[in-house]
């Protein structure tokens, strides 16, 4: 194993062109520096510095090494240098966030405004979350993800809760169920949109309805909340969706309490532990938490 400390010695020797000068810079005795030069000659197989009159001059090999050693030593110093304070004004970086549909429409505007105010050089890329595969977080393709933690969530991921959510019913503004309290019988007899997806899905809605002795009359099945709510705007059907998660998708629609009990759930933020110490990533996590906390307060 080569002694990497010799790189620093070689850099100073080639810069000074003198054993005495290099010894002074490295605070070594001339004899210690002479021994270091002897080791370098042995390692490189080249005399490096040779006498020309009363001074030392570099060999062609030394001149070649001088162009390589300086950047290597500076790079090592940069790696070992203490982390500097995060300068948000000068930060230039793109972060990728993956979430179920509705999250960006609800929380994205405030998050983008916060980021633009504090770090104008930061760009956010939003991706739709098709599944619970943790590979994008593990491989660095995604910086942050939001969703419900369950048995399918990779155990090595870091996670913090963002907000509590609940299921609600949604109809268009002039629907007959928008006129007052929605009775269980009226709910069950109406046509329903079933949202079939992994993670946040309406299977648990049907299970809770059955416990209460109700059976939803499914008219159509779709793959996402935005599609369900788009159909609600143009039909007499009911969509059952997460309340706070889809707030940005439900403008102009009427929401109501479900006529049966169903447990609330928690939306969390997830990231890979290798990003724990990244200052910019830590800052972004704080912004997402702040935005979701504010939205939570408005929605409660």
- pLDDT grade for 4, boundaries at 50, 70 and 90: confident
Q: Find the helix packing angle between 30-44 and 5-16, rounded to 10°.
A: 110
Q: What is the DSSP string of 78-123?
A: HHHSPPPPP-TTT--EEEEEEE-TTHHHHHHHHHHHHHHHH-TTEE
In this predicted structure, the answer to whether residue 287 has a pLDDT above a threshold of 70 is yes
Please tell me the least confidently modeled range out of 8-17, 101-110, 179-188, 228-237: 8-17
pLDDT digits (tens, 9 = 90+) for 170-211: 999 999 999 889 999 999 999 999 998 765 556 789 899 999
Share of the chain above pLDDT 70, in %: 93
Q: Do domains 93-164+266-299 and 167-263 have the same CATH topology?
A: yes
83 has pLDDT over 80: no
Specify the CATH architecture of the domain 167-263.
3-Layer(aba) Sandwich (3.40)
Q: What pLDDT sits at residue 1?
A: 61
Tokens of 160: 């913090």
Per-residue pLDDT tens digits for 36-58: 888 888 888 888 888 887 778 88
Q: Are 267 and 147 in contact (CB under 8 A)?
A: yes
Q: So what's the architecture of 5-80 in CATH?
A: Orthogonal Bundle (1.10)
Domain boundaries in the chain?
5-80, 93-164+266-299, 167-263
Mean pLDDT, the chain, integer: 87
32-36, 76-80, 106-110, 220-224: range with lowest mean pLDDT: 76-80
Check if the beta carbon of residue 165 is closer than 8 Å to that of residue 107.
Answer: no
pTM: 0.69
Residue 202: what pLDDT?
Answer: 63
Give the CATH fold of the 93-164+266-299 domain. D-Maltodextrin-Binding Protein; domain 2 (3.40.190)
* Interatomic CA distance for residues 153 and 200, integer angstroms: 13
- Residue 199 structure tokens: 């993670």
């Amino acid at each position: 194993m080569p002694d990497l400390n010799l790189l620093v010695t070689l850099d100073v020797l080639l810069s000074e062109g003198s054993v005495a000068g290099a010894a002074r810079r490295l605070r070594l005795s001339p004899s210690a520096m002479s021994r270091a030069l002897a080791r370098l000659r042995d390692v490189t197989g080249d005399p490096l510095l040779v006498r020309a009159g009363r001074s030392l001059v570099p060999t062609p090999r030394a001149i070649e090494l001088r162009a390589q050693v300086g950047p290597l030593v500076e790079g090592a110093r940069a790696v070992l240098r203490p982390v500097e304070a995060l300068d948000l004004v000068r930060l230039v970086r793109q972060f990728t966030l993956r979430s179920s549909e509705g999250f960006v429409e609800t929380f994205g505007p405030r998050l983008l405004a916060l980021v633009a105010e504090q770090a104008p050089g930061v760009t956010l890329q939003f991706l739709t979350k098709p599944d619970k595969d943790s590979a994008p977080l593990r491989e660095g393709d995604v910086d942050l993800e939001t969703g419900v933690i369950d048995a399918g969530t990779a155990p090595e991921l870091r996670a913090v809760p963002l907000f509590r959510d609940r299921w609600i019913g949604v109809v268009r503004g002039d629907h007959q169920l928008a006129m007052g309290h929605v009775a269980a019988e009226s709910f069950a007899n109406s046509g329903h949109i079933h949202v079939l997806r992994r993670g946040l899905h309406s299977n648990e809605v049907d299970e809770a309805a059955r416990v209460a002795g109700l059976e939803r009359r499914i008219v159509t099945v779709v793959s996402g909340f935005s599609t369900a709510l788009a159909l609600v705007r143009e039909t007499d059907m009911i969509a059952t969706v997460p309340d706070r998660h889809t707030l940005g998708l439900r403008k102009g629609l009427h929401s109501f309490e479900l006529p049966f009990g169903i447990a609330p759930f928690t939306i969390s933020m997830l990231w890979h532990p290798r990003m724990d110490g990244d200052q910019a990533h830590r800052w972004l996590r704080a912004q997402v938490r702040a935005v979701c906390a504010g939205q939570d307060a408005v929605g409660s």
